[in-house]
Structure 1
């Protein structure tokens, strides 16, 4: 019998959405098979808070945008991202690669996740430069890696908490613990291990975060890129505003993000409905469902009441 936590969809609708998802995950490169090797565990287990949160594509989009805004506020990360990646020229492919990397880190078999992360570390080792403010940077600088890891964790956690359902303090702390194995592999050995450590890190960045035209170029790209079907473009604009809304007010002020990115009450309701629906959307080709099959778990395992 169909679990009531799963959003029932007519077969043609499911197949269309499933096809869109497969395209998003494969257009930037070869298809990653989350269903193999059979029985191999991921870096974090299927009973984790992470497995339940990362299955929500709407929250991931919102949280990812919020994380990048925080990252672009740090001048060394900003120039490393903007001048050494394809974000400006091929934003959709860049989004696809970033989204796939997040899925592999959480749901991929451990051996394959470790191999992917090692490749990212090698690629980062070649990225060096000097910021527009005259500061030298290196992408594998542990302090920068810690900031990127921390902002991603905050973005995904806070987006889910704000727009899907409130997370308990125990769940929030679990997310920090569950992120630690991947953080160490990336070289983020000083990433926050608790919400209190994250709060201290963020406060310590108060004088470091810097406004830049790049922040607004990024926001413009994220509103225009075809991350969603064209008919859903108004929702995409609302999702970007929703990402801005979860940033602390002082961060928005520091980055110069004004009222033009204010999330209206109507938009907030629409975002909440979309995010809650996404939490019940089971697509057979999605990484979490494939990963459940790899471990011999039913397709709807993550859509049942928490274990």
Structure 2
């Protein structure tokens, strides 16, 4: 059963504050051996960071906000991972649809939602954290994947998360690449900014982003990646979190959410027809031209090149 507007996941997952945690989510995901290997061999993320980030928000957000069509969106997201498989540099086979690997990615989206609410929102009680955990299980079921890797409770999930951080996650090149944003391109939202100004701001912005991201890592992950975190750092991060929370309350409700999430809220409020076309990513976020016919990419229908009937049947 899909989630709805009564859920905490709806309240926080599609919130634009989640973009602040994009480097955190990318690094945590890539530290998983199977997921990191798939990114290293199959992804061109680092050639189109902003486009990939903003493009991915549409189908991933749709699994939460598409209502009656959420299960269909989930099948599409799962389908993008069918061909991502191989053997890593240490001879270990991997597949993006291995339930443990796919669930790890899903668990980071759950934790991102929790962190947005708890560290950059009003805060969460233990009951609310348990509610978010139960909702993430409903969200997971939409993918039609095995339930075997899913912990039974919020308490068991915390044990799982700690074990992954201490025993499973690895320091690898895709993780280092996520955190290396010294030469990152100008964000689309800053297209008005002269390139020279962006180049001057990029260094301080990169240092702040890495510091901010490191502060949200579990302690064992920070240590594995060679970062220090002091009591003073923690106090500064918590002050920033409170500032973000109070500033965000001044933003009108409809502007707080990503377009796919906003469409869900509008549909539930009767402001958008239930059968209206899905809100899709604009063409500026499309994959690199030579990648647009790949089954591993979400490309909005108007921009996807025609495919032979055999390829259409496989999706």
TM-score, scaled relative to structure 1: 0.71
Matched length:
255
SS in 1 for 2:76: helix
Contact 1:114 1:185 in 2 (8 A): yes
Which residue among 229, 246, 249 is the counterpart of 2:216? 246
- Counterpart position of 1:283: 254
- Residue 94 of structure 2 aligns to a residue whose secondary structure is strand
| Aligned residues of 2:82 and 2:97 also touching (Cα < 8 A) | yes
The question of whether the paired residues in 1 share the 8 Å contact of 2:121 and 2:241 is answered with no
Secondary structure at the aligned position of 1:83 is classed as helix
SS in 2 for 1:155: helix
**Corresponding position of 1:184:** 141
Displacement, 1:181? 2.6
Where does the alignment leave 5 or more consecutive residues of structure 1 unmatched? 1-41, 300-307
Question: How far did residue 177 of structure 1 move?
Answer: 1.1
Measured after TM superposition, the shift of residue 223 of structure 1 is: 7.9
The residue number in structure 2 matching 1:195 is: 154
Q: Does 1:148 align with 2:105?
A: yes
For 2:175, the equivalent position in structure 1 comes to 215
1:255 match: 225
SS at 1:66 equivalent: helix
Deviates more, 1:226-235 or 1:190-199: 226-235
- Write the distance in 1 (CA, Å) between the matches of 2:268 and 2:129: 25
* Structure 1 position 131 matched with structure 2 position 105: no
CA contact (8 A) 1:108 1:291 kept: yes
Does the residue aligned with 2:38 lie in a helix, a strand or coil? helix
1:174 Cα shift? 0.9
Map of 1:4-153 to 2, 5 A cutoff?
43-58=2-17, 60-111=18-69, 113-153=70-110
Q: 2:215, 2:234 within 8 Å by CA — same for their partners in 1?
A: no
Q: How far apart are residue 45 of structure 1 and its match?
A: 1.5
Measured after TM superposition, the shift of residue 291 of structure 1 is 2.0
Deviation readout 1:200-237 (Å, 9 max, x if unpaired): 21233222221123222111239834445357866675
The alpha carbon displacement at 1:50 in A equals 1.1
2:23 and 2:178 in contact (8 A); partners too: no
Partner SS state of residue 80, structure 2: helix
Say if 2:61 and 2:260, in contact at 8 Å, map to a contact too. yes
SS of structure 1 residue aligned to 2:269: coil
2:265 is the counterpart of 1:292: yes
Instruction: Look up the SS of the partner of 2:40 in the other structure.
Output: helix
The one-character-per-residue Cα deviations of 1:100-137 (angstroms, maximum 9, x if unpaired) are 233212222331x2222212222211111111222110
Structure 2: unaligned runs, 5 residues or longer: 273-315
How far, CA to CA, are the matches of 1:258 and 1:144 in structure 2? 28
Checking the alignment, whether the CA contact within 8 Å between 1:56 and 1:278 is kept in structure 2 is no
Aligned to 2:313: none
Q: 1:66 to 1:184 in 2, by over 3 A?
A: same
- Measured against aligned partners, the alpha-carbon deviations of 1:18-68 in whole angstroms (never above 9, x if no partner) come to xxxxxxxxxxxxxxxxxxxxxxxx82111111121124312x123333232
2: CA distance, partners of 1:52 / 1:209: 29
Deviates more, 1:87-96 or 1:241-250: 241-250
